[in-house]
């Protein structure tokens, strides 16, 4: 199977497969380069589109998730339930919308969608369309900051380890996970890359700091499949799954 990945910004990507298209965590305008809206509109034009939003933080959710999909032939929305409380005005009325809770399984629009509880906010997704399986982590990550106590470090490490075991048992073809350079451990990015077992790994949560990704596979402990290396919004790559 041929897939095409397109980087938009931060945790936002478009993934196209034969017959389907996915848009992930389209952030608020204040977190986007000016060309982002048109990049997405072109990438999703004419497609059967499903939009996944992992949680309601502004760097993951735009106040208008309808207009950006205006060129798609049909659109579905899979939204984390924290949006109902935090940003209910963003939930598009009269549209095909699935609100998801953590640690549940849903069938929606021909997809099987499993959710994992995020240790930041909202959920992560394990999705199968019957042929392609992918993991999208949102902000589920190994958030161990320098000021964390030993107890916090142990809790976070164990939480992330268990989550990655679930991801690995799902055998995803594609895995999207955070590689935040503000943390010494890259928010668990190398662990996710090595553990998930995906054929294609998509590093994210870069805040636009992308130049270093070219050396990701050369980092100590990096052991996995192909990596989608991108530099600028709109960069795309094709992979055979």
Q: What are 24-72's pLDDT values in tens digits?
A: 999 999 999 999 999 999 999 999 999 999 999 999 999 999 999 999 9
Per-chain mean pLDDT for the chain: 97
What pLDDT band is residue 221 in, cutting at 50, 70 and 90? confident
Q: What are phi and psi of 114, to 5 degrees?
A: -105, 145
Residues 6+ apart with CB under 8 A from 154: none
Mean pLDDT within 64-81: 97
State percent of the chain over pLDDT 90: 98
- CA-wise closest residue to 14 among 187, 197, 140, 174: 174
Given a cut of 90, whether residue 230 has pLDDT beyond it is yes
**97: its two tokens:** 């919308």
Quote the pLDDT of residue 126.
99
Which burial class, exposed, middle or buried, applies to 230 when counting CB atoms under 10 A from its CB (0-12, 13-18, 19+)?
buried
Domains present along the chain, CATH in parentheses = 2-240 (3.60.15.10)
Quote the pLDDT of residue 209.
96
- CA-wise closest residue to 24 among 70, 72, 60, 66: 60
């Amino acid at each position: 199977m041929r897939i095409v990945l397109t980087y938009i910004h931060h945790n936002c990507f478009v993934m196209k497969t034969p017959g389907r298209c996915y848009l992930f965590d389209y952030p608020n305008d204040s977190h986007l380069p000016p060309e982002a809206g048109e990049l997405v509109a072109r990438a999703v034009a004419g497609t059967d589109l499903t939009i996944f939003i992992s949680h309601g933080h502004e760097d993951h959710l735009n106040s208008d998730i309808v207009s950006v999909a205006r060129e798609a032939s049909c659109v579905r929305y899979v939204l984390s339930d924290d949006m109902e409380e935090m940003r209910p005005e963003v939930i598009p009325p009269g549209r095909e919308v699935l609100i998801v809770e953590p640690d549940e399984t849903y069938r929606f629009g021909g997809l099987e969608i499993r959710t994992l509880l995020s240790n930041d906010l909202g959920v992560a997704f394990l999705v199968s369309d019957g042929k392609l399986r992918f993991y999208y982590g949102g902000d589920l990550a190994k958030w161990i900051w320098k000021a964390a106590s030993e107890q916090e470090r142990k809790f976070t490490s164990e939480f992330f380890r268990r989550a990655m075991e679930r991801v690995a048992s799902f055998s995803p073809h594609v895995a999207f996970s955070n590689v935040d350079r503000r943390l010494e451990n890259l928010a668990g990015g190398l662990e996710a890359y090595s553990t998930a077992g995906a054929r294609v790994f998509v590093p994210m949560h870069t805040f636009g700091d992308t130049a270093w990704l070219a050396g990701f596979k050369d980092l100590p402990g990096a052991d996995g499949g192909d990596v989608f290396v991108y530099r600028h919004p709109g960069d795309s790559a094709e992979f055979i799954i």
